[in-house]
Structure 1
Amino acid sequence: MIDATANGKSFRSIGLGLKKHNIPVLPPTRDYSLEIAGRDGEIDFGSTYGPRLINLECIVMADDTTLDYHRRVAQVAALFNVKKGDIVFTFDDLPGRRYIGRYAGTLDIEKILFDGELTIPIKMGEHPFPESDENMLEETIVNSPETIKVLSVGDECASPEIVLTNTGSNTIQSFRLQNEYLLEG
C-alpha cells in the first residue's frame, strides 16, 4: 500500500489503504477553434489545460463488519467532505509534490467481509499541476541597481514569490521590481 495524506492526515490513521493512484501525465486540453462555412479546416485559437482528474483506488480496513467498519466509512466521508474545499494530497511514492483538489463524483463502496473497496475521484480544478517543495535562495543586494535571476525547474512556468527584508539600519525609501520571463525560441 502507498502511504498518503489528505491535509496532513494519514490515510492509514483512518483505516484507509491506498492501493494505487491514477494520475494522468497531463491534464486534458481545451481546444479553441472555429469552423467557417465554405472554408477548409478550422481556425485554431490555441489550447489551455482543463482540470486534472485523479482516481485513488482504496480499501477501507476495519476490525469488524459492523461498528468499526461504519466508523471507518464515516471517517472517510468526513475527510473528503466537499464542503471543506480543496484538499492538499501527498503520496509517499511521489516525494516533494503536493496535489491540490477536491472530491468530485460519487463514492460507492463495495463491501467485502470486514473491508470495503472504493475509488475516490479527485478533481484538480484550480490547480491542475502539482506543487513542489519550496527551494529557498537568499541573496543580499549590495549594489543598486542589481539583477538577480530566479530559475524555475518545474514542468510549468510559474511566477516566483519574492520577499524583501531590510536588514540594515536605514529605511528604504523606494524600490522597483521588474519581473521578466525568458522565453525559449
Structure 2
Amino acid sequence: MEDSNKLNLTRREMIVGTAAAVTITLAAGTINNVEALAIAKAEIVPSAKVSFTVNGKIQQLHMDTRTTLLDTLREHLQLTGTKKGCDHGQCGACTVLVNGRRINSCLSLALQHEGDHIVTIEGLGTPDSLHPMQAAFVKHDGYQCGYCTPGQICSAVAVLQEIKAGIPSHVSADLTVHQNLVIWKYERE
C-alpha cells in the first residue's frame, strides 16, 4: 500500500512551482527592502594602505583589501606582463618573485606583501637588455604561444636561485637535511 501523505512532484514541477513563488513574491513588492539593503551594503568597500617595492620602485597604494597581488600589478600598476590564466594557482602564468621566491600572484592578497620586494617580468629585463633567462627563451624558441612565458621565465629564474641557495626540492638528494633558507635580492647577472 502506498503512503498517501507523500508528495509526488517531478523535478520540472518543483522548478515551475519555485519560479511561480518567486514571481509572486517579487510582484508583491516584499523583496524591495532586501534589495535596498544589499545595494547599500555593497557600497561599503573595505580598503587599506599597502606599501611594497615593485621592480625596484616603491609603490604606495590605497586599495580594496580583497585585491589579489596579480590584480594589483595588472590593474593598479599597469604591469600587464604578469598574466591571469586559471586564477586558481594551477597554471603558473601569474608567477612573480617576492623576496626572491616564486609565488602565484593570483593566490595572494596584495596586503600580505607589505614591505616586500616584488619582481615581475618587466623587472627582469627590457627588450633592449634582456635578462639571460629571457634571452635563452628567445634563442631556444621556448615561448610557445607566449601567454604564460612571463610566469615560466620568473619561475625559471627563481628555481636557479633556489638551487644556488641550497633550498631542497624534489631533485635534491636528501629532503631531510636542514638548509638555511636564503632570501636573495635580485641582482642582474
The TM-score range, normalised by the shorter chain, is: under 0.3
TM-score, normalised by the number of residues in structure 1:
0.20
Task: Normalising by structure 2, report the TM-score.
Answer: 0.19
Which protein shows a greater Rg? 2
Higher percent of residues as strand: 1
